[in-house]
Structure 1
Amino acid sequence: MTPIQAPASGKAAPLGATFDGDGTNFAVFSQHATAMYVCLFSEDGKTETRRIRLMERDGDVWHGYLPGVRPGQLYGLRADGPYAPEAGHRFNVHKLLIDPYAKRLTGHPDWHDALYGFTRGHEDEDLSFDTRDSAPYMPRCVVEDPSFSWGETRPPDTAMEETMVYEAHLKGLTQNFHGASPKGGALALASDAMIDYLTDLGITAVELLPVHAFINDRFLVDKGLTNYWGYQSIGFFAPDPRYLSDGGLKELQHAVARLHAAGIEVWLDVVYNHTGEADQLGPTLCFRGLDNAAYYRLAEDKRHYINDTGTGNTINIEHPMVMRMVMDSLRYWVETFHIDGFRFDLCATLGRTAQGFDPGAAFFDAARQDPVLSRVKLVAEPWDIGPGGYQVGAFPAPFSEWNDKYRDGVRRFWRGDAGMTPELATRITGSAQQFDHSGRPATASVNLITAHDGFTLADTVSYLERHNEKNGEGNRDGHGENYSDNFGVEGPTDDPDILAARHLRQRNMLATLMLSQGTPMLLAGDEFGNSQGGNNNAYCQDNETGWLDWARCDADLHAFTRRLIAFRKAHPILRQKRFLHAHERVTDGIPDLFWWREDGTEMQDADWENADRALVCAEMRMASGTPAYAQREEALYLVFNAGGSATITLPDPPEGFHWVRHIDSAHPDAEPAPADATVTLNGPATLAFVLEEPPI
């Protein structure tokens, strides 16, 4: 096929394929290419009908305008240039490429050796060159008009201190949910039944695992598995086709609009640290073929990739055009889909420079000053496997962070590990050691007990060891240390005593989560006891293992979780931005935090140093420095007992007040009732008392 010149020069911005009502402008970045082509395909996607060379180049952006090209047109890119892996270049014009700015894709690559820029099996490996056309095995990009009529719906703009996060996989959440149709996609999330469920539970933000277009890794497909979680992005502007029933962007926009109308935000888990093209032996699908040396961080020999992510490659966020792509992507999702927040996978990678991790790195500065991103929540997963990769607490405001110290501390306290009382005290008061600096609020700590990566809550109390045999990796994948417990039996059991202990442990951990300072995050399904059969790395389980099992819903656990969330929402002492440091309050001279022994005296150093101590009692008030107008309640008294029986002496209430027990994990159905001066615990329990005025 002979290349032809584009009918018009077009513009260098915006990047991607942009329809203007008469035609479409194409603009593609490549610093090192010698030629760039847009390939148009027939309606069925099978035939390449035209190959247009983009003759105009402004700086490193190739562009051209095609009159008459309208939404729905299928296309792809080809880039010519040097194939010199030892110099960092892997151009191969025989490979059809995804437009990095494509707004929609028709599907996923169909694995074939032609998808690789080199000849697989050749003795020279990636130094060889493959001349087969990859187009028959590649998805097509689609020209899109992303406009949508949002009507009167507005983003909820929920304050972080009011936020209740619900982490969910879009398909796993909806595949078996009654009343959700069609199953497994954006429209199911928008169903009346799903929205009613979320609002009734008390959720204010749904955090979705990746919905950016991603690939199914070849090694998984060869084993009859698939990439379920989606952490192998290949298109940062396109929703993955598997979540759209007819392929249209409006399905996801409709879902966001429906959730917003119900007061629920939508956050996305995004992966800007690597792509799905793997290492030097990976396929040429997009970035590698457009400009490998610009898009990826390369080792000194230029042939190999820096692998701070554990996936084979690392995006070169320090390149200005790669940074631009990431920022353009984030803004696009906010402006086009009205997304309310982002959780950045392996976010330490985005802050790593040649000198190491830097909280003042260019990406953080760009995100913090951006007028669009300033309106949404930014949450970091504060680690990766690279050098200095563990950075919990080191991110700049306004970033919040997943707090794995909270997860591990809570699990270990309730498991009965020795010496965990001081650790729990630190975690329930907002992890100040990590987050109380640089003006950061207590809500910067996103508290979690479980997440998609690891055991579910039900499995945390049912398994000592991971059971990932179905993943086909010899049970070597997934976390090795889960701080879990099985109460003497690995997995399912009919023993009523073990079941009762497991149920109580789940209630204790859920209660701890909802009674802690910080921003709570609940893994979808934990509220009703969902299990993955001990699989703590279900990334490839697009089946009953990974989908929520709604048919086995523990109605009692669900009711208790709902009650906990409602209690948290009703008590601002639990939802503070200021940290509690036992400082006296100007308004009344009373400290905002007391730590009590069970006998009613204050904790001493010897008590904190007692490794056998498994009881924490905290009296909390609105924090010192809180304006008088915001001090809306008197005090809460919280008890966390991971040990045996105990008698708790409550602090003397001030005149005209009494303590009312509202939460008791050992008696989850008990109604609120005034408490006696002493309270007897028969074993592990979490209790919450409210200082109230007696009714007249």
Structure 2
Amino acid sequence: MKTTNSIQYEHSSLRLSERKLGVQYTNEASVFSVWSPPAVGMEVLLFEQGQEHPSVYRMIKDKDDVWSTTIEGNQAGKGYLLRVHHAGGIIHDVVDPYATAVEVNGTRGAIIDLSATHPEDWHNDQRPALEHPLDAVIYELHVRDFSIDPDSGIVNRGGYKAFTESGCRDRQGNPVGIDHLQELGVTHVHLMPIYDFSTVDESGDQRTFGSLKAYNWGYDPLNYNAPEGSYASDPTHPAVRITELKEMVASLHRQGMRVIMDVVYNHVVDAGSSAFEKLVPGYYFRLDEQGNYSNGSGTGNEMATEKPMVRKFIIDSVMHWAKEYHLDGFRFDLMGLVDTTTIRLLTEQLRQEIDPHILVYGEPWTAMDTPLTEQTLKGSQKGMGFAVFNDTLRDAIKGDTDGTGKGYATGERGVEGEIAEGMMGSIHSFTDGPEETINYTTVHDNLNLWDKVTRTMGIWDALGFPEFDHSQPLKEDWVEKAVKAADPYRLMDSWQLLDNEAVRRCLLANGIVLLSQGIPLIQAGDELLRSKFGDHNSYHSGDWVNAIRWENKARFRQVFDYYRGLISLRRSHPAFRLRSREDIERHMTLLQGSQEVVAFLLKEHAGGDDWAQIAIISNGSPSEQEVTLPQPHGEWRVVVKDGVAGTAILEQLTGHQISVPHLSMMVLYDSGLTCG
């Protein structure tokens, strides 16, 4: 689609950085404000509950091209639209882009008293303490995936309220739900999109397991400033989704976890039908050389984030979420499509006005070509206060994202140098310091870890994995049948779980992530050997593919305990969280980076650690390897070995020749005290 109007409207936009747009509500009156320089008329359409014929209120434009009107009286509970008139008799009725509450399916904005949506004791909600961003351990999850499993024991399955239920256990007594997260020890829960998105019908039954109509990842923004209704117990009442999301945040905070929101300001699904385009044609979206909407995301039209009013909208939006919902961080989808200036400015404002340790990070790439010149790519974050995903370390660990290509943990030789550089926080490649890298192996995109490992091993056929094409199994009529015919763990002997090759490779992969300098992130379910049955793009595959299977916690308890042990080790010892490039260069020495072994020494009480020396050894070889360590003051004490991890001493070794089991990590320390 083309647009002919490319007016920039700089004459008014530069004066509006501090001005509030949208609806400002009080009990006495509601003030409506919307920016639209080209409009020749503007009205508010106000809908009483249950009424389809609105009252119409005329708006007046001021010198800043802001149309506004004040409607006296308490308007809470009413819906509203904006009617914009353009030259030539063109009229559009649109949802206010600044709407902070919406009716079911986001078809109208809603006027509510946000203070009335606060849960009990919301004013006492506290962000859990975080001394430094490098103390974070991030867990990425999808709200519905986390609790929709019928065996979860959770009453409010699939929604926000599931995170308010504590005391849930599986049949063997293992904690599930929010108690599982607390037991695991993560510090941050990264929520996939929770703003109002367009592809799920909120009026349908959301609680039915397996309903494809109730499922989507949510990377198709509809209303950026209002919560998604399909995760609410009653999406027909605009306030309910707001209250329940706040309850979710408060519950996670009480359990000691901060909350990160996945945001998609880089694109909308269709610019032509967007309220932004209808209010200010030719302004909010990026155009290519032919004058067409640019599609650098591959899934929709790019927002022109470099323009002042687009930048203002994005900054206003993240500040709204941080203030109103007490959110603790933001992950930017396809951050390469968002100009670096915008990311820098919003990071600075969040740190100054909300919390000095709020997290901002994202994907430093685009999906397709873009005309944006100031792309936020890997390296552009240097010294800016935000972080980027480390795809270099990711690929070195596992290989390509969806194919049979291998990495260090999946059988590739000769990549020890890339692993070593990543474990040092990538300070000699694209970062100024370790706080700028998010280390990970997999997230929601592409094959998850178990499926990637089993693919590189060539055992998919033996596991019965179906072949998917856009969430549809090619050889079956329906997803449930294809999933039930497969068994991701068919070749596993549960009595010898930690001897299984695929298990060892998975633990090695995320062991590297959790013991590297930088900020680690794991995908929900990695600690339960989660499988998506080979579906590499499960954005609307539904629950049969995506749900967390809580029965696997008891089945793979040793795997969970390994993740928990590594997280506890990391959080207990500052040597694994060095604060700067200088600290890493001073205290971290590469002992070996060859023959499929990567071994480091953290020395001289690194980071103020109680342990004088810490050896971190990864062995990507299918055979045991001998590694030479410095002579300890007394004995090397082993805390991670052969799928067992934590801070407790597993064994004590004299001398400095260490045998490291195949496909595993080993961590040893020397307290610096002389035995005697």
Structure 2 CA distance for partners of 1:424 and 1:224, relative to 1, 3 Å: closer
What is the match of residue 408 of structure 2? 413
What is the match of residue 478 of structure 1? none
Residue among 300, 304, 314 paired with 1:316: 304
Per-residue CA deviations over 1:589-623 (Å, capped at 9, x if unaligned) read: xxx233335xxxxx7xxxx5xxxx21122111268
Do the aligned residues in 1 keep the contact of 2:559 with 2:643 (CA within 8 Å)?
A: no
- Aligned identity (percent) is 25
Equivalents in 2 of 1:181, 1:92: separation in Å? 49
Q: Which runs of 5+ in 1 are unaligned?
A: 1-11, 84-90, 110-138, 352-358, 476-488, 585-591, 598-602
Aligned with 1:443: secondary structure?
Answer: helix
What is the match of residue 479 of structure 1? none
Letter in 2 for 1:547: A
Do the aligned residues in 2 keep the contact of 1:76 with 1:141 (CA within 8 Å)?
A: yes
What is the match of residue 75 of structure 2? 70
Structure 2 CA distance for partners of 1:405 and 1:390, relative to 1, 3 Å: farther
Superposed CA RMSD in Å reads 3.0
Structure 2 CA distance for partners of 1:252 and 1:472, relative to 1, 3 Å: closer
Structure 2 CA distance for partners of 1:346 and 1:414, relative to 1, 3 Å: same
Note the C-alpha offset of 1:551: 2.3
Residue among 186, 191, 205 paired with 2:165: 191
Counting matched residue pairs gives: 590
What is the match of residue 314 of structure 2? 326
What is the match of residue 640 of structure 2? 663
Structure 2 CA distance for partners of 1:667 and 1:154, relative to 1, 3 Å: closer
Equivalents in 1 of 2:588, 2:416: separation in Å? 16
What is the match of residue 614 of structure 1? 596
Q: Does 1:164 align with 2:157?
A: no
What is the match of residue 690 of structure 1? 669
Letter in 1 for 2:83: R
Note the C-alpha offset of 1:574: 0.7
Residue among 232, 237, 243 paired with 2:231: 243
Note the C-alpha offset of 1:406: 1.4
Structure 2 CA distance for partners of 1:379 and 1:622, relative to 1, 3 Å: farther
Q: TM-score normalized by structure 2?
A: 0.81
Aligned with 2:98: secondary structure?
Answer: coil
Do the aligned residues in 2 keep the contact of 1:214 with 1:232 (CA within 8 Å)?
A: yes
Note the C-alpha offset of 1:73: 0.8
Residue among 627, 631, 648 paired with 2:626: 648
Do the aligned residues in 2 keep the contact of 1:185 with 1:242 (CA within 8 Å)?
A: yes
Structure 2 CA distance for partners of 1:492 and 1:107, relative to 1, 3 Å: same
Aligned with 1:432: secondary structure?
Answer: coil
Alignment of 1:26-175 (within 5 A): 26-44=32-50, 46-82=51-87, 92-93=90-91, 95-108=92-105, 139-147=107-115, 148=118, 149-158=121-130, 159-175=132-148
Note the C-alpha offset of 1:641: 0.9
Moved more, 336-345 or 425-434: 425-434
What is the match of residue 122 of structure 1? none
Alignment of 1:226-625 (within 5 A): 228-246=216-234, 247=238, 248=240, 249-276=242-269, 278=270, 280=272, 284-302=273-291, 304-351=292-339, 359=340, 361-369=341-349, 371-372=352-353, 375=356, 376-384=358-366, 385-387=368-370, 391-396=377-382, 397-411=384-398, 412-437=407-432, 441-464=433-456, 469=468, 471=470, 493-494=490-491, 496=493, 500-553=500-553, 554-579=556-581, 583=585, 592-597=587-592, 613-621=595-603
Structure 2 CA distance for partners of 1:53 and 1:582, relative to 1, 3 Å: closer
Q: Which runs of 5+ in 2 are unaligned?
A: 1-17, 168-176, 205-210, 399-406, 475-485
Letter in 2 for 1:664: K
Q: Does 1:634 align with 2:612?
A: yes
Do the aligned residues in 2 keep the contact of 1:579 with 1:623 (CA within 8 Å)?
A: no
Aligned with 1:662: secondary structure?
Answer: strand
Do the aligned residues in 2 keep the contact of 1:583 with 1:593 (CA within 8 Å)?
A: yes
Say which one has the larger Rg: 1
Note the C-alpha offset of 1:633: 2.6
Do the aligned residues in 2 keep the contact of 1:307 with 1:386 (CA within 8 Å)?
A: yes
Note the C-alpha offset of 1:472: 5.3
Do the aligned residues in 2 keep the contact of 1:425 with 1:616 (CA within 8 Å)?
A: yes
Do the aligned residues in 2 keep the contact of 1:653 with 1:691 (CA within 8 Å)?
A: no
Larger RCO (CA within 8 A; separation ≥ 6): 2
Per-residue CA deviations over 1:338-387 (Å, capped at 9, x if unaligned) read: 11111111112111xxxxxxx4x355235425632563211121111335
Aligned with 2:369: secondary structure?
Answer: coil
Structure 2 CA distance for partners of 1:206 and 1:366, relative to 1, 3 Å: closer
Aligned with 1:534: secondary structure?
Answer: coil
Moved more, 489-498 or 25-34: 489-498
Equivalents in 2 of 1:544, 1:267: separation in Å? 26
Structure 2 CA distance for partners of 1:467 and 1:30, relative to 1, 3 Å: farther
What is the match of residue 212 of structure 1? 195
